[in-house]
């Protein structure tokens, strides 16, 4: 006759798993690591003189944020919600007006062909020492959004696909047409 194996008492199993559950609830956090990815410019070597790069005035979009978180674009007070459209207009310069950046024709190869684009445009963001971080990030966010929207439009136009569905080479090509050029000056006291 087979020996009967006594049943293991599993009633404490629930307690053990409860303990584990509570441990994980305490030590982990729900938040996902998301963020606005940016790239800082490389540092200037100390022996190198800072050259005043001559940027044509029409190629420059100056965005200033003061200590009261007010936004000024090219000397005009503006709401942050309008910034995206303004930046897109500036980067594209579809009407080829003379106060927006100069259009340069360049051959980007298939499937683009010769494309007119604003090669030398620069968006300069200047903020005050007392500017609130949220306000600064909103401005950065809108500018990045402007670029993302333009790249998306470009992807739809030439590839009939969403930008993030394209392969790396295609994305790089589009990035060449819409290069992200956001320059940040060191903060100054603009006062208010």
Partner 1 sequence: MAKIRRNEKREMPALNTSSLPDIIFMLLFFFMSVTSMKEVSYKVQFKNPQATELTKLEKKSLVRYIYVGTPTAEFRKQYGAETRIQLDDAFAETKEIGEYIVNERSSMKESEQGLMTVSIKADKDTKMGIIADIKQELRRAYALKISYAATQRTSY
Q: How many chain residues are in contact with partner 1, going by CB under 8 A?
A: 48
Residue 47's alpha-carbon distances to 41, 43, 44, 54, 167, in angstroms, are 17, 12, 8, 21, 41
Q: Tell which one of 1, 5, 8, 34 touches partner 1 (CB under 8 A).
A: 34
- Residue 83 Cβ, how far from partner 1 at the closest point, in Å? 13
Residue 157 interacts with partner 1 (CB under 8 A)?
A: no
Residue 191 interacts with partner 1 (CB under 8 A)?
A: no
Q: Tell which one of 2, 30, 50, 114 touches partner 1 (CB under 8 A).
A: 30
Contacts with partner 1, 122-151, as mask; x by CB under 8 A: -----xxxxxxxx-xxx-xx--xx--x---
Return all residues near 91 (Cβ < 8 A) that are at least 6 apart: 101, 118, 121, 123, 146, 147, 150, 178
- Residue 56 Cβ, how far from partner 1 at the closest point, in Å? 26
Residue 134's alpha-carbon distances to 87, 122, 124, in angstroms, are 19, 23, 18
Whether the CB-CB separation of 137 and 151 falls below 8 Å is answered with no
Return all residues near 78 (Cβ < 8 A) that are at least 6 apart: 71, 72, 86
By residue count, the chain amounts to 192
- Residue 171 Cβ, how far from partner 1 at the closest point, in Å? 14
Residue 171 interacts with partner 1 (CB under 8 A)?
A: no
CA dist., res. 100 & res. 8, Å (int): 80
CB closer to partner 1, 104 vs 129: 129
**What is the binding site for partner 1 (CB under 8 A)?**
10-11, 13-14, 16-18, 20-21, 24-25, 27-43, 81, 127-134, 136-138, 140-141, 144-145, 148, 184, 186-187
């Amino acid at each position: 006759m087979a020996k009967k194996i006594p049943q293991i008492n599993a009633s404490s199993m629930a307690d053990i798993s409860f303990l584990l559950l509570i441990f994980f609830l305490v030590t982990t956090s729900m938040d996902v690591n998301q963020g606005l990815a940016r790239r800082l410019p490389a540092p200037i070597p100390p022996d190198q003189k800072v050259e005043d790069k001559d940027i044509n005035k029409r190629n420059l979009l100056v965005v200033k944020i003061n200590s009261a978180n007010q936004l000024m674009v090219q000397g005009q007070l503006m709401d942050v919600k309008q910034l995206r459209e303004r930046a897109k207009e500036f980067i594209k310069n579809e009407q080829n007006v003379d106060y927006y950046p100069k259009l340069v024709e360049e051959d980007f190869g298939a499937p683009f062909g010769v494309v007119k684009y604003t090669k030398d445009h620069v968006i300069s963001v200047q903020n005050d020492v007392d500017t609130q971080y949220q306000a600064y990030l909103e401005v950065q966010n809108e500018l990045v959004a402007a670029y993302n929207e333009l790249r998306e439009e470009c992807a739809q136009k030439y590839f009939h696909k969403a930008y993030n569905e394209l392969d790396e080479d295609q994305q790089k090509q589009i990035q060449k047409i819409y290069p992200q050029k956001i320059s940040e000056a060191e903060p100054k006291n603009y006062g208010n």
